[in-house]
A and B are shown apart, each in its own frame.
Chain A
Amino acid sequence: MKWKSTVLALALLLATGCKDPYGVAAKLAQDVAISVNQADVTIDALRVQGTITADEERQILGYLSTLNTLDGQYIACVQVAHNSTIAGGFTKCAQVLAADMGDPSTLAALHVSNQASQAKVAAVANGIVTLVTVTITALGGK
């Protein structure tokens, strides 16, 4: 639900033009951080329910840890962009985040054997990727 409302909000922003790229960039950092937090809890619950194994949870937590690290790097990048006069800084930060998130070795950790759980894991990953992609578009090169 949060994903839908966030994507809708960013789509509206795209339609009306981005007047606050720093705010949009900061919001992405917060959304990714909150998503990682929620995903941690969800993945652990799936393991407790017995639908994924401990090894699979370990792998996915590894991915989430990487994603969290990337978000930290993105936050630092946004701070630099905010204090810089170079054009396009916020967009470049989000593009780096998107590129690193899409690294095949990072995404390889997302496979689990239970199909229903795999769908949930994929939904989380796809939701975050979509959010980053929509934000890049909304930033409009700023």
Chain B
Amino acid sequence: MDPITTINAAILALDAILNIINQIRGQSGLTDDQILAAAASQATTNTDQIKKLLAGLPPKSV
């Protein structure tokens, strides 16, 4: 393997590791407080969405 190919492979490996670290941290650039706030916001959105889906269902069968 020539040096350029080796460096490219190393960069790709490093990039893969950084991607995993970013996944652990949630979204890149967000603080832990922001991640938790985003989770709370998503949970509120979920509550509204579930209510809408339930309201859109046909009546219960008997």
Which residues of chain A have a CB within 8 Å of any CB of chain B? 5-6, 8-10, 12-13, 20, 22-24, 26-27, 29-30, 32-34, 36-37, 40, 44, 47, 53-55, 57-58, 61, 64-65, 68, 71-72, 75, 78-79, 82
Interface of A is mostly: helix
Which residues of chain B have a CB within 8 Å of any CB of chain A? 20, 23-26, 32-33, 35-36, 38-40, 42-43, 45-47, 49-50, 53-54, 57-58, 60-61
- Distance in Å from the Cβ of A17 to the closest Cβ of chain B? 12
Question: In the bound complex, do residue A61 and residue B54 qualify as a contact, i.e. CB atoms below 8 Å apart?
Answer: yes
10 inter-chain pairs at a CB distance below 8 angstroms, sorted by A residue, are A23-B24, A23-B26, A26-B32, A30-B38, A54-B60, A54-B61, A61-B54, A71-B39, A75-B43, A82-B32
5 nearest CB pairs, A to B:
A33-B42, A29-B39, A30-B39, A26-B36, A26-B35
Question: In the bound complex, do residue A37 and residue B46 qualify as a contact, i.e. CB atoms below 8 Å apart?
Answer: yes
- Distance in Å from the Cβ of B24 to the closest Cβ of chain A? 5
Question: In the bound complex, do residue A64 and residue B39 qualify as a contact, i.e. CB atoms below 8 Å apart?
Answer: no
